[in-house]
Amino acid sequence: MEFKLPDIGEGIAEGEILKWLAKEGDQIKEDQPLVEIMTDKVNVQIPAPRTGKVLQILAKEGDVAKVGQTIMIIDDGSGGAQPLAETITPHPAQPAAPPQPQGAPSSQSVLAAPATRRLARELGVDISVVKGSGAQGRITDDDVKRFASSSSTTPSAVTVQASRPPTHVAGPREELVPLRGVRKTISERMLKSLQTTAQVTHVDEADMTELVLLREAFKGSAEKRGVHLTFIPFIIKALVPALKEFPYVNSSLDEESGNIVLKKYYNIGIATDTEQGLVVPVVRDVDRKDIFELAGEIETLAEKARKTQLTLDEVRGGTFTVTNVGAIGGLFATPIVNAPEVAILGLHKIAKRPVVREGKVEIRDTTYFSLSFDHRVVDGAYAARFTSRLIETVQDTKKLLSEVL
């Protein structure tokens, strides 16, 4: 049987093969983890659909497979299971190949993985004339490279190789790290966000003295509930009245229909630093939860993010994102909007600084809030008023207490 990359929901059209959990020739059982896939939202393990034997793996680790693409051939005992010579990976249109002599093998009939075929095209190699050294005559990357090297004096190969940028070869004090997995997804999403939105960052200062005292007062109650209380639950709760008053900050832009979608619910993404890279789990309906519930949920989601155990439901549906680098340090930064959301709030180091209050200099706990926003939807004055409303709540103990409990 052909094992195809299944539709795992939420409009996800493709996934990167992170790790195969079985190899060719292995006996596998139904529902055992077979392959780990990285989507633009989360890592998922896909189970084996049947009990059987792995005949052929058609996508290498690091390849991007489309939903519905055959990535493995399994002999499940139903008969007729044969290795495939080609997967259904779509490729850019190629010039029509010249007619081949009768009986000559075509590039479609040879046994090779999609990545190997792509390598052959890049090197100007006709893969149908390459002799395979792999199992059942399968053509490997090394076979293609050897053929290209032995034919490197031909005009076609020289032309193709000259047109390609040189591949960097690591020096004695360098290490080459493949751009893949979460790091590759982050690079693609951040670049796309900057290329498709008009981003501006507004920065304002907040006096956190009252909030610092309030957190200290609630830490004991939080410990009794078994949760670690940070400043983030307080900030999230203070966001709610600001988002309600300035709904365009809690929106998205549907470019296809030309509509701005105002969200009447408040699902806050929490950018989380992990060994794999930045992941954004979503805390839902923060307006309906108190600070202790939020603290526990944030702690649980962060731990799952670090262990790559987040589900799709836990990373989708965000309306606004918060990113916190306060524990690391720095004055302020300009975070990149987590598209298709419209805005993201950067939280930074809280430090004691001199502040003028009623004509006198006092030492207060202060920080900076960085609001990056899509100027297509939100104007600068609107963003500034939103940030001022947030700071007003943070600095007023009575207003904050009415929100957090």
Partners of 161 in beta bridges: none
Euclidean distance between CA atoms 214 and 221, whole angstroms: 12
Euclidean distance between CA atoms 312 and 322, whole angstroms: 19
Do residues 198 and 375 make contact, with C-beta atoms less than 8 angstroms apart?
yes
Q: Please tell me whether the peptide bond between 114 and the residue prior to it is cis, using omega within 30 degrees of 0.
A: no
Euclidean distance between CA atoms 342 and 168, whole angstroms: 38
CA 18 to each of CA 5, 31, 209, 270, 305: distance values in angstroms, whole numbers, following the listed order: 13, 19, 46, 24, 16
Euclidean distance between CA atoms 193 and 214, whole angstroms: 36
Euclidean distance between CA atoms 405 and 400, whole angstroms: 9
SS3 assignment, position 149: helix
Query: Catalytic annotation on 348?
Result: no
Q: What are φ and ψ of residue 153, in 5° steps? A: -90, -5
Burial of 331 (0-12, 13-18, 19+ CB in 10 A): exposed
Burial of 17 (0-12, 13-18, 19+ CB in 10 A): buried
Q: Is 366 left (phi over 0), alpha (psi -120 to 50) or beta?
A: beta
- Supply angle C-alpha 367, 372, 376, rounded to 5: 155
Candidates 91, 168, 228, 375; catalytic one: 375
Burial of 259 (0-12, 13-18, 19+ CB in 10 A): exposed
Residue with tokens 């990113």: 323
Residues acting as catalytic residues: 375
